Amino acid sequence: MVSRLAIVGTGLIGASVALAARRAGVASVRGFDPDPDALAEAAQGGAVEPAGSLSEAVANAELAVVAAPVAQLSSSVAEVLAASSGTVTDVGSTKGAVARAVRDDARFIGGHPVCGSEARGAANARAELFEGATWFLTPGAATEPARYRELHAFVSSLGAVPVAVDPEAHDRLVALTSHLPHALANLLVNQAGAARIEGHEPLAAAGGSLRDLTRVAGANPRIWVDIFLDNASALRETLREHRRRIEQLEAALEAGDAGFLARWIAEASGNRRRMLAEAFEDPGALQRLRVHVPDRPGVLAGITQALGAERINIEDFELQHFSPERGGVLNVLVTGEEPARRAAELLEAQGYGVVVSAVVE
Amino acid sequence: MVSRLAIVGTGLIGASVALAARRAGVASVRGFDPDPDALAEAAQGGAVEPAGSLSEAVANAELAVVAAPVAQLSSSVAEVLAASSGTVTDVGSTKGAVARAVRDDARFIGGHPVCGSEARGAANARAELFEGATWFLTPGAATEPARYRELHAFVSSLGAVPVAVDPEAHDRLVALTSHLPHALANLLVNQAGAARIEGHEPLAAAGGSLRDLTRVAGANPRIWVDIFLDNASALRETLREHRRRIEQLEAALEAGDAGFLARWIAEASGNRRRMLAEAFEDPGALQRLRVHVPDRPGVLAGITQALGAERINIEDFELQHFSPERGGVLNVLVTGEEPARRAAELLEAQGYGVVVSAVVE
- Which among B176, B203, B326 is the nearest to A274, CB-wise? B203
Write the CATH number of the domain with boundaries B283-358. 3.30.70.260
What is the DSSP secondary structure assignment for residue A179, as one 8-state letter?
Answer: I
pLDDT at position B177 is: 94
What's phi and psi for B289, nearest 5 deg?
-100, 120
Coil/strand/helix, residue B238: helix
Coil/strand/helix, residue B85: coil
* Cβ-based neighbours of B12, under 8 Å, separated by 6 or more: A355, B117, B119, B120, B121, B122, B124, B125, B129
- A264 contact residues in B (CB cutoff 8 A): 186, 190
| CA-based nearest residue in chain B for residue A188 | B242
Q: Which residues share a beta bridge with A288? A: A333, A357
The three-point CA angle A341-A346-A348 to 5° equals 90
- A212 contact residues in B (CB cutoff 8 A): 181, 185, 212-213, 215-216
B120 contacts A279? CB cut-off 8 A: no
- Give the H or E element holding residue A342: helix A337-349
When pLDDT is averaged across residues A99-112 and rounded to a whole number, the result is: 92
The three-point CA angle B23-B27-B29 to 5° equals 85
Residue of higher predicted confidence among B299 and B24: B24
- Over 80: is that where the pLDDT of A297 sits? no
What's phi and psi for A290, nearest 5 deg?
-105, 115
Tens digit of each residue's pLDDT (9 = 90 or more) over B241-274 = 999 999 999 999 999 999 999 999 999 999 998 8
A127 contacts B322? CB cut-off 8 A: no
- A242 contact residues in B (CB cutoff 8 A): 187-188, 191, 246
| CA-based nearest residue in chain B for residue A243 | B243
pLDDT at position A84 is: 96
Mutate to test the interface with A, among B16, B17, B22, B131 (most CBs of A within 10 A): B131
- Give the H or E element holding residue A300: helix A299-309
| CA-based nearest residue in chain B for residue A334 | B297
Write the CATH number of the domain with boundaries B4-165. 3.40.50.720
When pLDDT is averaged across residues B108-124 and rounded to a whole number, the result is: 84
Min Cα separation A33/chain B (Å): 21
- Rounded CA-CA distance B72/B14 in Å is 15
* Contact indicator for A219, A118 with CB cutoff of 8 Å: yes
- Which among B182, B191, B280 is the nearest to A321, CB-wise? B280
- Rounded CA-CA distance A156/B56 in Å is 70
- Which among B117, B297, B326 is the nearest to A311, CB-wise? B297
* Contact indicator for B334, B287 with CB cutoff of 8 Å: yes
DSSP sequence for B241-307 = HHHHHHHHHHHHHHHT-HHHHHHHHHHHHHHHHHHHHHH-S-GGGEEEEEEEE-SSTTHHHHHHHHH
Crossing angle between the packed helical segments A258-279 and B180-194, to the nearest 10 degrees: 70
- Over 90: is that where the pLDDT of B147 sits? yes
> pTM for the full model?
0.85
| CA-based nearest residue in chain A for residue B279 | A323
Q: What is the rounded end-to-end Cα distance, in angstroms, of chain B?
A: 48
Banded model confidence at residue B361, pLDDT cuts 50, 70, 90? low
Mutate to test the interface with A, among B124, B155, B161, B200 (most CBs of A within 10 A): B200
- Rounded CA-CA distance A29/A20 in Å is 11
Tens digit of each residue's pLDDT (9 = 90 or more) over B125-142 = 889 889 888 899 999 888
Tens digit of each residue's pLDDT (9 = 90 or more) over B158-177 = 999 899 999 999 999 999 99
pLDDT at position A361 is: 61
B170-256 has which fold? 6-phosphogluconate dehydrogenase C-terminal fold (1.10.3660)
Every domain range in chain B assigned CATH 3.40.50.720: 4-165
Which of A333-337, B2-6, B129-133 is predicted most confidently? B2-6
- Rounded CA-CA distance A280/A315 in Å is 8
Min Cα separation B317/chain A (Å): 5
pLDDT at position B323 is: 66
pLDDT at position B187 is: 98
Mean pLDDT of chain A: 90
A166 contacts B272? CB cut-off 8 A: no
Q: Which of B46, B62, B100 is nearest to B78 (CA)?
A: B100
In this structure, how many other beta carbons lie within 10 angstroms of the beta carbon of residue A306?
A: 17
Every domain range in chain A assigned CATH 1.10.3660.10: 170-256
Coil/strand/helix, residue B141: coil
pLDDT at position B119 is: 65
DSSP sequence for B309-357 = HTT----EEEEEEEETTTEEEEEEEEESHHHHHHHHHHHHHTT--EEEE
- A198 contact residues in B (CB cutoff 8 A): 165-166, 169
- Residues recorded for chain A: 361
The pairing of beta strand B327-335 with beta strand B316-323:
antiparallel
pLDDT at position B88 is: 97
Mutate to test the interface with A, among B94, B135, B163, B177 (most CBs of A within 10 A): B177
Buried/exposed A232-257: b ≥16 CB within 10 Å, e otherwise:
bebbbebbebbbebbeebbebbeeeb
B210 contacts A270? CB cut-off 8 A: no
A119 contacts B357? CB cut-off 8 A: yes
Q: Which residues share a beta bridge with B102? A: none
B271 contacts A218? CB cut-off 8 A: yes
- Which alpha helices (H) appear in A166-257, and where do they start and end? 167-174, 180-194, 208-213, 221-230, 232-255
- Over 70: is that where the pLDDT of A22 sits? yes
A187 contacts B246? CB cut-off 8 A: yes
- Which among B127, B218, B321 is the nearest to A269, CB-wise? B218
Residue of higher predicted confidence among B173 and A314: B173
Mutate to test the interface with B, among A115, A272, A333 (most CBs of B within 10 A): A272
Tens digit of each residue's pLDDT (9 = 90 or more) over B318-354 = 776 666 666 777 888 888 899 999 999 998 888 888 8
pLDDT at position A282 is: 77
- B269 contact residues in A (CB cutoff 8 A): 217-218, 221
Banded model confidence at residue B83, pLDDT cuts 50, 70, 90? very high
Buried/exposed A189-198: b ≥16 CB within 10 Å, e otherwise:
bbbbbebebe
Every domain range in chain B assigned CATH 3.30.70.260: 283-358
Min Cα separation B214/chain A (Å): 7
pLDDT at position A11 is: 93
Q: Which of B144, B125, B132 is nearest to B62 (CA)?
A: B144
What's phi and psi for B57, nearest 5 deg?
-70, -40
Mutate to test the interface with A, among B12, B165, B278 (most CBs of A within 10 A): B278
Banded model confidence at residue A175, pLDDT cuts 50, 70, 90? very high
When pLDDT is averaged across residues B40-45 and rounded to a whole number, the result is: 95
State which amino acid sits at residue A126.
R
Among A80-94, A205-219, B303-317, the minimum mean pLDDT is found in: B303-317
Tens digit of each residue's pLDDT (9 = 90 or more) over B213-250 = 998 999 888 889 999 999 999 999 999 999 999 999 99
- B328 contact residues in A (CB cutoff 8 A): 132, 316
| CA-based nearest residue in chain B for residue A312 | B297
- Rounded CA-CA distance B235/B178 in Å is 10
Min Cα separation B267/chain A (Å): 7
- Rounded CA-CA distance B111/B117 in Å is 16
Coil/strand/helix, residue B53: coil
In this structure, how many other beta carbons lie within 10 angstroms of the beta carbon of residue B101?
A: 14
- Rounded CA-CA distance B50/B132 in Å is 29
- Rounded CA-CA distance A159/A171 in Å is 23
